[in-house]
Amino acid sequence: MHSLLEYPFDSQAISRKRRSIRRELLSKPDLIEKRIAILGGSTTHDIREILELFLLDYGIRPVFYESEYGQYWQDAMFPPEELLRFQPELFYIHTTNRNISAFPGLGDTAQAVEALLDQEYARFCAMWDKLRETFHCPILQNNFEYPLYRLQGNREASDVHGRVHYITCLNLRFAGYAQAHDDFYINDINYLSAAYGLEKWADPFFWHMYKYALSLDAIPSLAFSLAKIIKSLYGKNKKALALDLDNTLWGGVVGDDGVENLVLGRETSMGQAYTEFQAYLKAHKDLGILLNVVSKNDYENAIAGLNHPDSVLRPDDFTVIKANWEPKSRNLLQMAQELSLLPESFVFADDNPAEREIIRQQVPGAAVPELQDVERYISQIDHGGYFEVTKLTADDRKRGEMYKENLARARLENSFADYGAYLLSLDMHAEIAPFAPVHMGRIAQLTNKSNQFNLTTRRCTQEEIEGFAADPACVTLCGRLSDRFGDNGIVSVAAGRAVGTRLDIFLWLMSCRVLKRDMEYAMMDELAAECLRRGLRSVRGYYYPTAKNGMVRDFYEKQGFTKLSEAEDGSTVWELDLTGGYTPKNKVIQIDRMGEETAT
């Protein structure tokens, strides 16, 4: 990440150097382009420019449509031709409490206040529904910050006439809409403004002078929050933590001080801080974040420390524990390889500034938060937004166990001389079927997270996935793989559209969790069978190279396709002739189609 854009950042430095930062970030390889429409209830020019910097830093090159000042509702309800031509892939609606049309009066009855609340909420609902109906893409909507003054003082929070109470009710209505609608997300400026300092955030000078609803210095905080949501939607989240032990998870050095003298537990203020940090980290397991140890320690000492009676984290909470005297950069790279993750998927947490700098130099792309003072460890990681959640599936919550099962598979593999015999020993079963409603969220998530085994690198929203499933011209398949060690969940996705008597594949990807397990052959077999059932005579596949997907460069060749063309950038087009039938290639996975098991 760019040093000026890492949390905690200097807002004024970002504003001063925005042009040079932009030039530098535009040179990054493999930027994915996204069309973003900003509909503003106040001035949004600087918000757009700073948001662009954070998105570029995440590998997303935005192209913007920006409404005129205050025209957010009109552009949504009566889209101008320019917006219709733009065809946004995402909306950001920048509204604040200055865009609330009316507040309760002290003489209003409770019923009148409720009617006013219904009217205000209905105005926003109509706008969101219109956008969803017209454009079928994700919507990011600010909730509301609290007012700068409280006419009744603290009573404002409880009295039905109070503006604080009214905004709280509106925010809860907005949250309810988000809970009921996929692809609708709240940018929580109620929290952001509180964390920043409400009076500094909403300094009225900037409204009266420039029609900005927040101060210029607060804009990077707003843009950073937005960028975190957007990068999560497009699969740019981190996936794992690599944690130091001594003076990071506990106070003291376990090898020197002994387990009994570690600072941990409820007896001291510092011990409480370390315990609270461990509890915060452990909660990430429920989000599907992998916890790992990278520590310069004897392994036995590390395990003894984690078995401290006051330790919240236990050895079993970690996917991989690297406790030795090798360089931490080498351990982290080996860990990434063992887990089939890219090194950039990690957040490295270590109290030692020298170790942090080595990781920055030796493991490009890994996030390295500045940990200073254990009391602030949580906020330093939390505000970094590395694991922003926009979707949380059942597979996410089981991810840690799935990776542990993968490590057990790797250990079993090492005990076999013949790889084919190893695959058969896994007793693998796959369920391969068209996209189903219960899996739509996970399928969309996979298209945005999978980088290595991804032939077209197409990123899709859930609404797009649902559209493919509903299109009679499309063939859609998702594959779930399980074996003697456990269920890997939905791990592979393929989709194509019939063009005459040919199927054009526009989506083919697989989770790194099941590489080298022959799942791609099982998917190809079912895809070919479905094409033959539909009377299609050929399948055309496309490979678009990136810095991360070189492993599938020869995928179609291995599947028996013939190369038709190759462009200067390495993009290739392939075709499989089905006129003479198709010979299945999967020999090791038992297939369950639509709930009926059939041996291959």
How do residues 210-249 score in pLDDT, each as one tens digit? 999 999 999 999 999 999 999 999 989 999 999 999 999 9
Amino acid of residue 399:
R
Q: What are the two backbone dihedrals, phi and then psi, of residue 54, each rounded to the nearest 5 degrees?
A: -65, -40
> What residues are paired with 573 via a beta bridge?
542, 565
The mean per-residue pLDDT over the stretch 545-566 comes to 93
Tokens encoding 308: 């401290």
The position carrying tokens 């009217």 is 119
Residues 341-386: tens digit of each pLDDT = 999 999 999 999 999 999 999 998 999 999 999 999 999 999 999 9
Q: Where are the domains of the chain?
A: 3-233, 240-382, 414-598
Class of domain 240-382: alpha beta
From first CA to last CA, the distance across the chain in angstroms is: 47
Determine the pLDDT at residue 593.
Answer: 59
Taking the C-alpha atoms of residue 559 and residue 575, their distance in angstroms, rounded to an integer, is 10
How far, in Å, are 166, 228, 493 from residue 455 at the CA level?
50, 26, 11
The mean per-residue pLDDT over the stretch 61-67 comes to 98
Taking the C-alpha atoms of residue 50 and residue 42, their distance in angstroms, rounded to an integer, is 16
DSSP 8-state symbol, 106 = T
Tokens encoding 443: 């399928």
Instruction: Give Cα 238 to chain centroid, integer Å.
Output: 7
The mean per-residue pLDDT over the stretch 315-332 comes to 96
How far, in Å, are 118, 303, 442, 452, 550 from residue 456 at the CA level?
45, 43, 18, 11, 12
Pick 3-233's CATH classification: 3.40.50.1220, 3.40.50.1110, 3.40.50.1970, 3.30.70.1110: 3.40.50.1110
Residue 397 scores a pLDDT above 90: no
Pick 414-598's CATH classification: 3.40.50.720, 3.30.360.10, 1.10.10.10, 3.40.630.30: 3.40.630.30
Maximum Cα–Cα distance across the chain = 84
Say if CB 7 and CB 383 are below 8 A apart. yes
Tokens encoding 309: 């009676």
Residue 413 scores a pLDDT above 80: yes
Q: For 59-138, list the strands marked E by DSSP.
A: 60-66, 90-94
Taking the C-alpha atoms of residue 534 and residue 528, their distance in angstroms, rounded to an integer, is 10
Say if CB 108 and CB 116 are below 8 A apart. yes
Amino acid of residue 195:
A
Amino acid of residue 118:
D
Query: Of 466, 470, 433, whose CA–CA distance to 447 is shortest?
Result: 466
List, in order, residues 6 or more apart from 395 with CB less than 8 Å away: 288, 402, 442, 489, 490
Residue 434 pLDDT grade (very low, low, confident, very high; cuts 50, 70, 90): very high
pTM of the model: 0.84
Residues 121-169: tens digit of each pLDDT = 999 999 999 999 999 999 999 999 999 999 999 999 999 999 999 999 9
Find the range with the poorest average confidence among 18-27, 146-155, 247-256, 390-399: 390-399
Query: Of 1, 4, 33, whose CA–CA distance to 18 is shortest?
Result: 4
How far, in Å, are 37, 38, 67, 79, 127 from residue 75 at the CA level?
10, 10, 7, 5, 9
Tokens encoding 388: 């922003």
Amino acid of residue 373:
D
Find the range with the poorest average confidence among 102-106, 137-141, 248-252, 460-464: 460-464
Are both 3-233 and 414-598 of the same fold?
no
The mean per-residue pLDDT over the stretch 88-100 comes to 97
Helices (H) and strands (E) in the chain, counts: 24, 18
**What angle do the packed helices 110-135 and 163-180 form, to 10 degrees?**
40
Average predicted confidence (pLDDT) for the chain:
94
DSSP 8-state symbol, 420 = H
